[in-house]
Amino acid sequence: PKYTPSPLVLKAFKTHEEKLEKLGVSYAGDINQIVIDGKISDFIKTIEILYDQNINDVARQVVDRGTIKAVCISGQSSSGKTTTSKKLAMYLKALGKDCLVVSTDDYFVNRVDSPRKPDGSYEFEIVDALDIKLFNSHMKKLLAGEEVVIPTYNFIMGEKEYKRKPVALKENQILVVEGLHAINEMLSTSIPKKNKLKLYISPFTPIGLDRHNHISTTDLRLLRRMVRDYQHRGYSADATLQSWAGMRSSEESYVYPYQREADVIINTSLAYEIGVLRTYAEPLLYSVSKDSENYEEAIRIINFLEAFINIPSDDVPEVSVLREFIGHSYFEQ
């Protein structure tokens, strides 16, 4: 494929790599040694601070620019959009700015109107799966100080519900919008460019298994998704693996091209997280039947996880982005 440079992505990756190198962490074995030495609790706290510093930098940029009325946060599946948006709201609050957090997931079109794939199944990953007209109408009214009733999408019934109280954006408030397509200009045409900051997030991990084998961002997101699907939705690892390829294909077409529109990119990977995710994901992967077409992929991931020592989740903070996937997050509604 034709190479299209993404300098902000490369910068986010490189900056994180340099920070980890200063901590003496470049490979899986370095993290394992920290566990063996009994220093994993302090290491987790340090890594969380690095992540929080990124959020603080964005919050300060929003305040310093003065003209920002909305922050749009996008990223692939399992990037940590929910936690990042709510932590950003907390940091902005500390700087004197209240926030109204809106998720584009509440603006899906009713299931009966959802676009379909060639095989007849529903296509939820594309921007046309959202009620673009209603979303832009609400954003325009909010920025004008008018009241709107933000819907809540009932994923079981496949319909928008209007059970919330009317809200209006106050003069000192910042609108924080998070979702798969949040930085797609189609979703924010009602917001002037000078009044919005586009933030793209992804767990870019610079850690390698060794000098020759890099850890894929896709594999990290798959582990996060697998654990979350089971913890929060009751899906098996087999079901997650079955849907993963289709979702990745949609991302290639409808998410990745727009990352170049971002003003800021944040790396949401946590250097210690694979050891924690192993504890949750390994039993799920062993449950994949030999008769499943996903069996070989499950074995590949099991072999990959064996490079990491299990890390208990006890020291993972409630406000960590990892809690979005393993459960017991402070931000869970």
Per-residue pLDDT tens for 31-53? 999 999 999 999 999 999 999 99
- pLDDT reading at 150 higher than 80: yes
Give the model's confidence band at 125: pLDDT under 50 very low, under 70 low, under 90 confident, else very high.
confident
- pLDDT reading at 333 higher than 70: no
Class of residue 53 by CB neighbours under 10 A (exposed 0-12, middle 13-18, buried 19+): exposed
- pLDDT reading at 253 higher than 80: no
Tell me how far CA of residue 73 lies from CA of 20, 21, 201, 228, 283, in angstroms: 25, 28, 7, 20, 33
Q: What percent of the chain has pLDDT above 70?
A: 99
Give Dmax over CA atoms of the chain in angstroms: 59
- pLDDT reading at 250 higher than 90: no
Q: What is the pLDDT of residue 171?
A: 84
Q: What is the pLDDT of residue 306?
A: 96
> What is the mean predicted confidence (pLDDT) over 200-215?
92
Sheet with 196-202: list strands edge to edge: 99-103, 174-178, 70-75, 196-202, 264-267
Distance, CA of 329 to CA of 55 (rounded, Å): 17
> What is the mean predicted confidence (pLDDT) over 169-196?
90
- pLDDT reading at 254 higher than 80: no
Does residue 107 contact residue 130 with C-beta atoms inside 8 Å? yes
Give the model's confidence band at 220: pLDDT under 50 very low, under 70 low, under 90 confident, else very high.
very high
Distance, CA of 71 to CA of 81 (rounded, Å): 12
- pLDDT reading at 19 higher than 90: yes
> What is the mean predicted confidence (pLDDT) over 211-217?
91
* Strands (DSSP E) found in the chain: 70-75, 99-103, 152-154, 159-161, 174-178, 196-202, 264-267
Distance, CA of 256 to CA of 253 (rounded, Å): 7
Neighbours of 245 (CB within 10 A): 10
Amino acid found at 174: I
3-state secondary structure of 272: coil
Q: What is the pLDDT of residue 257?
A: 77
| Averaged pLDDT of the chain | 92
Does residue 55 contact residue 71 with C-beta atoms inside 8 Å? no
pLDDT tens per residue, range 55-114: 999 999 999 999 999 999 999 889 999 999 999 999 999 999 999 999 999 999 999 898
Phi and psi of 164, rounded to 5°?
Answer: -85, 160
The angle formed by the CA atoms of residues 116, 117 and 123, to the nearest 5 degrees, is 60
Distance, CA of 159 to CA of 248 (rounded, Å): 25
> What is the mean predicted confidence (pLDDT) over 292-307?
97
Q: What is the pLDDT of residue 315?
A: 96
Q: What percent of the chain has pLDDT above 90?
A: 74
Residue 157's nearest CA partner among 202, 110, 189 is 110
